Amino acid sequence: MSIGVAIVTYNSAADIAQCVESVRSEGLLNIAIVDSGSQDATMKEIAHQGCKYDASSMNKGFGYSANRGARLLNTEYVLFINPDARLQKGSVERIRMSLQKFPNAGIIGLLLCDENGTPERMAFGDEPTLWALMLRHVFLKKIPSIPFNADWVSGGAFIMQKKVFDEVGGFDENFFMYWEDVDLCRRVRKKGYSVIMDPTAKVTHFRGGSNLDSDTKTRVYRESADRYFKKHYSSTIWRIQRFLRKLQ
């Protein structure tokens, strides 16, 4: 079972070395890093890591760079992980167990936790229907202690069969950032594969690695959400979700 690692960086000089170290400490040595036009010392840090790497002169979005990273790897599986994340001890062994237990899983998500060990609620979720949008802040599901089916898992840390990644065409590069993981999981499920969240495989997520200001993040998030609904739902539902989001 060969596993490669794809890391997309953007102004991640403060994080990338620790991320790579956590990956290597879990026995994953086939690592590809793609830089999205960083303006800080990220490339200098990457040069010291001894990994495969590719660099773009401009930031064309997460999906674009993640696809480039996957193409650098010739492995059965690709683990996508954000540079501001660290694999916790034993996480890869637990993922290997889940890959064997769920052979039809196209994607298996690792559970993102903050520095205090608290799981992130946006690490996975149900299909974002209009009903789910209205109730997402009302009913919070308890996270099971064993692997379970999910409609989507966060692109912050998940592992995917390379053949499935190629079959669905990878990430939709029309999403600059945010929602590209939800879109990918939906397309994987439509191909008949399952999406699994494994809460026993944990990742510490420090957040903030993109260095984008909050206003820009909010704008990009809303644009990506709008793109997702326009792509997958009727024009009526698309318009309703736009209205609902303005109320939030």
Name the residue ranges covered by the structural domains of the chain: 3-209
| 151-197 pLDDT tens trace | 999 999 999 999 999 999 999 999 999 999 999 999 999 999 999 99
Identify the pLDDT of residue 245: 66
Residue 138, pLDDT > 60, answer no
Q: Return the pLDDT at 221.
A: 85
**135-to-65, 128, 150, 177, 182 alpha-carbon distances in Å:** 33, 10, 17, 24, 18
Phi first, then psi, for residue 174 (nearest 5°) are -75, -20
**CA 128 from centre of chain:** 17
User: Which pLDDT band holds residue 142 (cuts at 50, 70, 90)?
Assistant: confident
pLDDT tier at 133 (50, 70, 90 boundaries)?
A: low
* Average pLDDT estimate for 199-213: 79
Which is more confident, 220 or 196?
Answer: 196
pLDDT in tens, 223-247: 888 898 889 888 887 777 777 666 5
User: pLDDT-based confidence at 212, cuts 50/70/90?
Assistant: low
pLDDT score for 132: 65
Kindly give, in sequence order, each residue whose CB lies less than 8 Å from that of residue 81, ignoring residues fewer than 6 positions away: 5, 6, 7, 19, 23, 87, 156, 157, 203
- Per-residue confidence (pLDDT) for residue 203, from 0 to 100: 96
The predicted model gives 210-225 an average pLDDT of: 78
Q: Which helix (H) or strand (E) holds 199?
A: strand 194-205
> Does residue 10 or residue 132 have the better pLDDT?
10
Please report the pLDDT score of residue 204 as a whole number: 96
- The whole-number pLDDT of residue 236 equals 81
Fold of 3-209: Spore Coat Polysaccharide Biosynthesis Protein SpsA; Chain A (3.90.550)
pLDDT above 70 coverage of the chain, percent: 90
Q: Which residues pair with 85 in a beta bridge?
A: 205
pLDDT band per the 50, 70, 90 thresholds, residue 113: very high
CA-CA distance, 209 to 85, in Å (whole number)? 9
Query: What pLDDT shows up at residue 226?
Result: 86
Residue 120 gets which letter from DSSP? Answer: P
